Structure 1
């Protein structure tokens, strides 16, 4: 006689939204947005699909909420300086300090870049959120560049933002965080060049 093992009971009530967002973060990171279905998300969060749709109107709504949750953790500091990097130059360089990929698991890179690639329509709410995040990222870097004394902080902020995105994409292709160290070295040179006073010309000295 075969015995069917008991199935885990679906958990409802308080904490369901948090479990759904946690499952979304894990699955979207591991497999991507388009490859992850709502049924898979409900199973991972241990909720029914009805509960899932009670908290989120649809997948787009869930993706938007997921990105909003990780946004603050990924942005450069915008308020008081962290104790580890009290000076703005150190904070600019800190964005390239990535932990070694000792697990060997595939690196996924920036979730906002990934979302923009998977949802390419620039009018889509998720794509707009990704674009807004990237603009805010560059603005935060420009603010730090201004505090560091850069002659053109907006330009330096854009340069470092572009460097960061390139390093993040390369880390995914090579499945290695070594690009972070290279990016940090290049960023240091950009910062030093941007804050070094330009020598006065011979004409201006007359």
Structure 2
């Protein structure tokens, strides 16, 4: 009896495989250039299974963004880490993750909002919620550090972080955040009490 070839696992774990395949394809090709059939093939799952988990591509994109947000693998992820001091959490916003052979994509929430430009769309709304959450988290951290005008400083810092992520994507330079980090250090030095 000859050896039998087995196909990649199907059945259990379909949702996780779909999200993993979508994440890979979105990172390499972008959201709009990735079709649902490609995701099903890469997962691998049947189209029926794919649509049972995600009725529309928009649902898949939101599922992908939710998965990223809960994993802590986004710019915002470091902001909630209790094992890192507040100032270092803020500065870590500028340490963009190095891609594993994939193009530098910057912020997935900005990418998704750009690919779903209608502010009323579910994807754009979710991306906006995450960007507002980011500024709330930074506001909490600079408040904890003793900043007198935390909301204004937080807006400046997240604007720097988002700008650095966008420029890193356009220029294909995962280390681009170092420029914005230097500016953030200056902002913090001028806005925070000595020794914060």
TM-score by length of 2: 0.88
C-alpha deviations, 1:123-171, integer Å up to 9, x for none? 0000000000000011101111111111111111111100001101111
| Equivalent residues of 2:96, 2:165 under 8 A apart | no
Task: Give the counterpart of 1:160 among 145, 157, 182.
Answer: 157
| Equivalent residues of 1:100, 1:176 under 8 A apart | no
Task: Give the counterpart of 1:150 among 147, 151, 161.
Answer: 147
Residue correspondence of structure 1 range 183-202 to structure 2 within 5 A: 183-196=180-193
Q: What SS does the corresponding residue of 1:167 show, helix, strand or coil?
A: helix
The question of 1:66 aligning with 2:64 is answered yes
Post-superposition shift, 1:97?
Answer: 1.9
Change beyond 3 A, Cα 1:123–1:171:
same
Aligned to 1:97: 95
C-alpha deviations, 1:79-111, integer Å up to 9, x for none? 5622xx2x21111111112355695x4211111
Residue correspondence of structure 1 range 74-89 to structure 2 within 5 A: 74=74, 75-77=76-78, 79=80, 81-82=82-83, 85=84, 87-89=85-87
CA–CA distance in structure 1, aligned partners of residues 117 and 8 of structure 2: 35
Q: What stretches of structure 2 of length at least 5 have no aligned partner? A: none
CA–CA distance in structure 2, aligned partners of residues 95 and 56 of structure 1: 31
CA–CA distance in structure 1, aligned partners of residues 78 and 178 of structure 2: 20
Q: What SS does the corresponding residue of 2:106 show, helix, strand or coil?
A: coil
Aligned to 2:118: 121
Aligned residues: 188
Post-superposition shift, 1:11?
Answer: 4.3
CA–CA distance in structure 2, aligned partners of residues 51 and 153 of structure 1: 47
Task: Give the counterpart of 2:11 among 13, 16, 21.
Answer: 13
CA–CA distance in structure 2, aligned partners of residues 145 and 62 of structure 1: 35
Q: What SS does the corresponding residue of 1:129 show, helix, strand or coil?
A: helix
Post-superposition shift, 1:172?
Answer: 1.2
CA–CA distance in structure 1, aligned partners of residues 82 and 164 of structure 2: 24
The question of 1:169 aligning with 2:170 is answered no
Please identify the structure whose Cα radius of gyration is greater: 1
